[in-house]
């Protein structure tokens, strides 16, 4: 029942072989490797593979020798960002990811739909999600019709050419953030190779039940993440739309997000937090989650994404792996 593994971004401080050995030691059998976008690619020599300087069979042999399957690539970024230092770079990363996935025989790439400016000539992405005012609907029509649809129609064609499926993470601050917007993208591009990466963590805090979302999307679910979310008591006062993030000073080396942009600091009394699998929803919930995925595809890859700030690197992976293995039991 499904293939349990790890998205190796949390293990970027280790060489690829050592990261895969950690995954194997957790009793898991799959790995998702970063191929571009927001973060570096220490586990995947994209340029070397595409140029032929790195032999693909030699690269893949590390997976065979450790007994961990390469189940997907991850190229999360904002390919529609109006700042060319970000948008053009992330779009190029996605194109290169599709090509290297085809070369390696990897059939799944996790990515984000992206978010353009509110209007032509804008310089900052704008997320319009409640267009009760026609001005916002005007903006959404520009974002979809003039930016997103032409781009993703081209990406779908390229993915089809290389035998790859693009798995969109339904992520707030992107045009695609829930099942309705995922279906809109697929339908309006007439896509054959675009579907969903089912990351439940971003659905939980929106009030969406990921299991209901899986049942609704059906065959459009191509791939999955295992990441939990805890709703905190502060949500009773401020709700889940919380804008109290603050800048991290340059001397503290904030994480870069492309160009001049960086990750901000989370509110101290946050309304919700990403937590290891099992720390937001119990084992019984995750058993139903995995079962719902298996009904769509019994061989679907489900990779742990560790972003629990309260747990260490290996500790968080161990908590998540323990919960998932018991849930799959």
What pLDDT digit, counting tens, does each position of 159-187 carry?
999 999 999 999 999 999 999 999 999 99
**Distance (Å) of CA 286 to CA 31, 48, 240, 279, 324:** 20, 39, 22, 11, 7
Residue 114, pLDDT score:
98
**DSSP code of residue 208:** -
E strands present in the chain? 3-7, 30-34, 69-74, 108-111, 165-169, 194-198, 221-226, 228-231, 272-275, 301-304
For a pLDDT cut of 90, what percent of the chain falls above it?
Answer: 98
Q: What is the pLDDT of residue 48?
A: 98
- The whole-number pLDDT of residue 196 equals 98
Rg for the chain (alpha carbons), in Å? 19
Question: Is it the case that residue 299 has pLDDT exceeding 90?
Answer: yes
Q: What is the pLDDT of residues 182-205, one digit of tens each?
A: 999 999 999 999 999 999 999 999
Q: What is the average per-residue pLDDT within 286-306?
A: 98
Residue 97 has pLDDT above 90, yes or no: yes
- Tell me the HSE value of 206 on the side-chain side, using a 13 A CA sphere: 17
Average pLDDT of 35-56? 98
Work out the pLDDT band at 64, boundaries 50, 70, 90: very high
Q: What is the mean pLDDT of residues 292-311?
A: 97
Q: What is the mean pLDDT of residues 291-319?
A: 97
**Per-residue pLDDT averaged across 1-8, rounded?**
96
- pLDDT of res. 294: 98
d(CA 230, CA 282): 11
Question: Of 164, 219, 209, whose CA–CA distance to 186 is shortest?
Answer: 219
Q: Is the pTM of this model over 0.85?
A: yes
**What was the pLDDT predicted at 233?**
96
Give the pLDDT band (50/70/90) at residue 1.
Answer: confident
Cα–Cα distances in angstroms (integers) from residue 194 to residues 48, 209, 263, in the given order: 27, 22, 28
Q: What span, in angstroms and rounded, lies between the C-alpha atoms of 114 and 112?
A: 5
Q: Is pLDDT larger for residue 279 or for residue 255?
A: 279
**Closest alpha carbon to 121 in 146, 153, 152, 149:** 146
What is the Cα–Cα distance from 249 to 270, expressed in whole angstroms? Answer: 20
**By C-alpha distance, which of 5, 67, 74 is closest to 35?**
74
């Amino acid at each position: 029942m499904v293939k349990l593994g790890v998205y190796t971004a949390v293990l970027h401080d280790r060489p690829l072989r050592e990261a895969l050995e950690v995954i194997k030691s957790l009793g898991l059998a799959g790995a998702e490797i970063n191929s571009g976008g927001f973060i570096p690619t220490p586990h995947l020599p994209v340029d070397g593979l595409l140029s032929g300087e790195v032999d693909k069979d030699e690269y893949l042999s590390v997976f065979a020798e450790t007994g961990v399957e390469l189940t997907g690539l991850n190229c999360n970024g904002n390919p529609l960002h109006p700042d060319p230092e970000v948008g053009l770079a992330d779009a190029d990363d996605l194109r290169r990811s599709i090509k290297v996935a085809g070369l390696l025989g990897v059939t799944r790439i996790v990515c984000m739909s992206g978010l353009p400016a509110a209007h032509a000539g804008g310089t900052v992405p704008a997320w319009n999600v409640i267009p009760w005012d026609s001005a916002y609907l005007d903006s959404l029509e520009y974002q979809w019709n003039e930016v997103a649809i032409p781009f993703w129609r081209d990406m779908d064609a390229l993915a089809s050419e290389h035998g790859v499926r693009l798995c969109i993470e339904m992520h707030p601050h992107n045009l695609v953030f829930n099942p309705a917007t995922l279906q809109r993208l697929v339908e309006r591009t007439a896509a054959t190779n675009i579907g969903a990466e089912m990351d439940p963590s971003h659905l939980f805090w929106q009030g969406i039940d990921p299991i209901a979302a899986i049942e609704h999307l059906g065959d459009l679910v191509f791939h999955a993440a295992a990441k939990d979310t805890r709703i905190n008591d502060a949500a009773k006062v401020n709700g889940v739309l919380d804008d109290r993030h603050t800048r991290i000073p340059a001397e503290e080396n904030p994480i870069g997000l492309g160009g001049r942009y960086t990750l901000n600091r989370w509110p101290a009394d946050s309304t919700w937090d990403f937590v290891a699998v099992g720390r937001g929803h119990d084992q019984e919930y995750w058993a139903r989650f995995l079962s719902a995925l298996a009904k769509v595809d019994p061989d679907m890859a489900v990779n742990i994404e560790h972003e629990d700030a309260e747990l260490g690197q290996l500790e968080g992976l161990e908590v998540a792996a323990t919960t998932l293995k018991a849930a799959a039991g």
